């Protein structure tokens, strides 16, 4: 029983991080109908940045994390300005460009960081007894609380601020929103940066728990895509519920069914969603 | 007028015929090594041209094309190893399996739109790689599955002609589809989906059909490739391979008949030269493909010139 609770806790912790990563994809899909196939690579880069900043350059880990996320944000802005912006309205080219970019970044990561897994130092050590039932690593608990904090921040940003309002306006009706004075090019650029930053955030949070490798990126992208389709394209609530569901299913599945096929559970969910509820849990049926 | 038309027909038949005659010659003067490069290039011509059939002509970006070639290769290889089925029959079985899976995936995703097809095909490729790597009892995992070749006596020239014949066959089918009524509906769907569907074209059915045909072609190409190499590894259905195929079509020129053919020969030959300096060809091709997609979306064929293209594409 305690074992089961521990796997469940793992699932919830990973689930919240899944949600952050998936919101990064979902924001960009919702606003500009662009799927960022380089999502996993940004995540990996963030993990390596935070490793090298803290382990090689001696930046305190707590500072290295936001700094890495900020670098990824800038990379995202750069990507949007140079490569994505000219493809607006041409879905096919944006898919091709982000896919090619993912391969380029993956090979660049191999060249720059090497093929070996790297892991930034833990922020905390030891374990805490949870309700007298089982011990759980402090680093994982801290990751969980940081993730919750980031999720709350995103919800605040999107539901309560002027920037969030313009994001929602552009995703609902691009022409109307520009009529009422929203600069949608700027909104696109900033939301692409934000989407990238969220990939980075998930990367720096996970890296101390599961070391990053350049070849691990496609599994990470896929994970986010499954959550986005499961939750419904463009739905924030869907990302949270979908992320938790995938995290729990993967962890229980890996523990009780098969470790090797951890990544298969996500694909099975994707196919089931496409068969029975292709618009996802919280998506709009009419597209 | 009549003369002009006659001249046009003569050109249409004459130039491909000239190319076919030229294509017979390589085994007479190329070394074994360059003949191998030519065979691999022909494999990529099949892959890039059939990928272009869906991406370039119906606007659907599939990331499972290499995966389907892997399915063709492994299906044919496994029936050969386990049941002793001859490769000639095996590649047909592989083609059929790829077509069926293509139909299933296409049916599930295409009605939801292009983004869903791209996401799901990417997932499909990843999952296939994981299954092949883990089920090593059947697939021999990363060690690779040793399979018999087509000919009892190994000869690169024979393989070259076999690949040449199948490539020409696939290219004729693709040319025929693109210029038939079906091709017209493909282009109608690509140019304006709403107008096409309101003029009575079942856009979803057209796309599913194109996707199935293209996947079957990848399965056939993969089967041939596997029995030529006589060793089938998870590299065949990898995303790295998918990227090479995509880069060949994008750099050569998507949506043009000649583009992917030119792209395949250019990139495969180039990668032989670059390979000496290490595995940088992927990074280099990626950067070139990005620049092409950004600044010259019609690829090399677009750069070469409009007049020449006009006579060939439409």
pLDDT the model gives residue B46: 96
pLDDT of residue B206 exceeding 60, the answer is yes
Average pLDDT, chain B: 86
The owner of tokens 């093929």 is A115
Distance CA B153, CA B156 (A): 10
- In B, minimum Cα distance to A87 occurs at B294
pLDDT the model gives residue A201: 94
pLDDT the model gives residue B74: 95
- In A, minimum Cα distance to B297 occurs at A93
pLDDT the model gives residue B312: 53
Tokens of residue B190, six digits: 């690509």
Are B100 and B117 contacting, i.e. CB atoms less than 8 angstroms apart? no
pLDDT the model gives residue B200: 66
Minimum-distance CB partner of A96 among B108, B124, B293? B293
Contact B250 A222 (CB under 8 A): no
Contact B293 A222 (CB under 8 A): no
Residue B233 lies in a domain: yes
What phi, psi does A122 have (nearest 5°)?
A: -70, 150
Distance of residue A90 Cα from the nearest chain B Cα, in angstroms:
10
Are B54 and B210 contacting, i.e. CB atoms less than 8 angstroms apart? yes
Domains identified in chain B, total number: 1
Question: Domains of chain A (ranges plus CATH)?
Answer: 2-116+123-276 (1.10.3470)
Residue B144 lies in a domain: yes
Residue B124 lies in a domain: yes
Tokens of residue B300, six digits: 């090399």
Distance of residue B231 Cα from the nearest chain A Cα, in angstroms:
24
Minimum-distance CB partner of B112 among A111, A260, A278? A278
Minimum-distance CB partner of A104 among B109, B119, B287? B287
Q: Which residues of B touch A259 (CB under 8 A)?
A: none
pLDDT the model gives residue A287: 44
ipTM score of complex = 0.88
Contact A104 B283 (CB under 8 A): yes
- In A, minimum Cα distance to B61 occurs at A92
DSSP H/E element including B130: helix B114-134
Distance CA A182, CA A187 (A): 8
On the 0-12 / 13-18 / 19+ scale of CB atoms within 10 A, A26 is buried
User: Which residue would you say has higher pLDDT here, B305 or B213?
Assistant: B213
Q: Which residues of B touch A275 (CB under 8 A)?
A: 108
Q: Is A86 on the interface with B (CB under 8 A)?
A: yes
Contact A108 B283 (CB under 8 A): yes
pLDDT of residue B264 exceeding 50, the answer is yes
Instruction: List B residues 169-208 in contact with A (Cβ-Cβ < 8 A).
Output: none
Residue B286 lies in a domain: no
pLDDT the model gives residue A137: 83
Instruction: List B residues 91-110 in contact with A (Cβ-Cβ < 8 A).
Output: 108-109
Residue B263 lies in a domain: no
Contact A275 B118 (CB under 8 A): no
Lowest mean pLDDT among A116-120, B165-169, B244-248: A116-120
Residue B137 lies in a domain: yes
Distance CA B126, CA A166 (A): 36
Q: Is A221 on the interface with B (CB under 8 A)?
A: yes
Distance CA B176, CA B258 (A): 14
Count CB neighbours of B41 within 10 A.
20
pLDDT the model gives residue A183: 80
Query: Could you tell me the residue range of the domain that residue B165 belongs to?
Result: 31-238
Residue B213 lies in a domain: yes
Q: Is B126 on the interface with A (CB under 8 A)?
A: yes
pLDDT of residue B1 exceeding 50, the answer is no
Q: Is A83 on the interface with B (CB under 8 A)?
A: yes
The CA dihedral of B56, B60, B66, B71, to the nearest 10 degrees, is: -130
pLDDT the model gives residue A76: 95
Distance CA A203, CA B262 (A): 40
- In B, minimum Cα distance to A90 occurs at B59
Q: Which residues of A touch B127 (CB under 8 A)?
A: 263-264, 267
pLDDT tens readout for residues B77-126: 999 988 988 999 999 999 999 999 999 999 988 888 788 899 999 999 98
Residue B135 lies in a domain: yes
Q: Is B61 on the interface with A (CB under 8 A)?
A: yes
**High-pLDDT (> 70) share of chain B, %:** 89
User: What's the whole-number mean pLDDT along residues B136-150?
Assistant: 82
Instruction: List A residues 40-79 in contact with B (Cβ-Cβ < 8 A).
Output: none
Tens-binned pLDDT, residue by residue, of chain A (287 aa) = 778 888 898 899 999 999 999 999 998 988 888 899 999 999 999 999 999 998 888 888 889 999 999 999 999 999 999 988 888 878 888 899 999 999 999 999 998 888 888 888 887 877 787 777 777 888 888 999 999 999 999 999 988 888 888 888 887 777 777 777 778 788 889 989 999 999 999 999 988 888 888 888 888 999 999 999 999 888 889 999 999 999 999 999 888 888 777 788 888 899 899 888 888 888 776 54
């Amino acid at each position: 029983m305690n074992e089961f609770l521990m796997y469940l806790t793992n699932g919830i912790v990973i689930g919240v991080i899944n949600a952050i990563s998936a919101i990064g994809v979902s924001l960009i899909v919702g606003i500009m109908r662009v799927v960022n196939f380089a999502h996993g690579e940004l995540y990996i880069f963030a993990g390596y940045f935070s490793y090298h900043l803290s382990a090689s350059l001696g930046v305190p880990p707590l500072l290295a994390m936001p700094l890495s996320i900020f670098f990824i944000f800038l990379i995202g802005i750069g990507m949007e300005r140079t490569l994505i912006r000219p493809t607006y309205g041409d879905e096919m080219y944006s898919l091709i460009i982000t896919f090619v970019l993912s391969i380029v970044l993956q090979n660049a990561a191999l060249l720059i960081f090497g093929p070996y897994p790297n892991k930034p130092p833990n922020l905390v050590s030891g374990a805490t007894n949870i309700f007298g039932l089982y011990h759980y690593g402090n680093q994982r608990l801290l990751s969980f609380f940081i993730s919750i904090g980031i999720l709350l921040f995103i919800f605040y940003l999107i539901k309560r601020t002027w920037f969030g309002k313009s994001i929602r306006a552009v995703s609902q009706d691009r022409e109307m929103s520009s009529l009422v004075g929203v600069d949608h090019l700027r909104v696109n650029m900033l939301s692409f940066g934000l989407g990238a930053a969220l990939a980075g955030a998930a990367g720096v949070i996970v890296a101390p728990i599961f070391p990053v490798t350049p070849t691990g990126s496609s599994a990470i992208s896929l994970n986010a895509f499954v959550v986005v389709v499961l939750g419904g394209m463009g739905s924030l609530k869907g990302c949270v519920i979908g992320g938790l569901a995938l995290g729990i299913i993967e962890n229980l599945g890996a523990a009780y069914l098969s470790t090797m096929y951890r990544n298969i559970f996500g694909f099975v969910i994707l196919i089931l969603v496409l068969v029975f509820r292709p618009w996802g849990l919280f998506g709009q049926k009419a597209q | 007028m009549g003369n002009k038309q006659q001249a046009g027909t003569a050109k249409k038949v004459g130039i491909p015929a000239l190319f076919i005659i030229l294509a017979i010659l390589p085994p007479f003067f190329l070394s074994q090594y360059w003949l191998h490069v030519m065979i691999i290039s022909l494999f990529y011509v099949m892959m890039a041209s059939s990928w272009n059939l869906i991406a370039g002509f119906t606007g659907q970006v599939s990331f499972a094309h290499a995966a389907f070639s892997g399915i063709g290769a492994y299906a044919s290889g496994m029936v050969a190893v386990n049941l002793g089925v001859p490769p000639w029959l095996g590649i047909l079985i592989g083609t059929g399996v790829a077509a069926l899976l293509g139909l299933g995936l296409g049916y599930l995703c295409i009605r939801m739109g292009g983004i869903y097809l791209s996401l799901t095909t990417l997932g499909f490729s990843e999952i296939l790689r994981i299954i092949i790597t883990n089920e090593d009892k059947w697939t021999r995992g990363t060690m690779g599955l040793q399979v018999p070749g087509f000919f009892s006596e190994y000869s690169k020239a024979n393989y070259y002609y076999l690949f040449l014949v199948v490539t020409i066959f696939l290219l004729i089918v693709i040319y025929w589809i693109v210029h038939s009524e079906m091709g017209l509906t493909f282009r109608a769907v690509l140019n304006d989906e709403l107008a096409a569907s309101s003029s009575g074209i079942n856009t979803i059915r057209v796309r599913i059909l194109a996707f199935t045909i293209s996947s079957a072609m990848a399965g056939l190409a993969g089967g041939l490739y596997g029995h030529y190499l006589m060793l089938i590894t998870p590299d065949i259905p990898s995303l790295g391979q998918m990227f090479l195929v995509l880069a060949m079509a994008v750099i050569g020129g998507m949506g043009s008949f000649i583009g992917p053919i030119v792209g395949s020969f250019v990139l495969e030959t180039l990668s032989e030269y670059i390979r000496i300096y290490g595995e940088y060809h992927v990074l280099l091709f990626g950067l070139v493909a990005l620049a092409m997609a950004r600044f010259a979306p019609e690829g090399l064929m677009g750069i070469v010139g409009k007049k020449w293209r006009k006579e060939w594409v439409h």
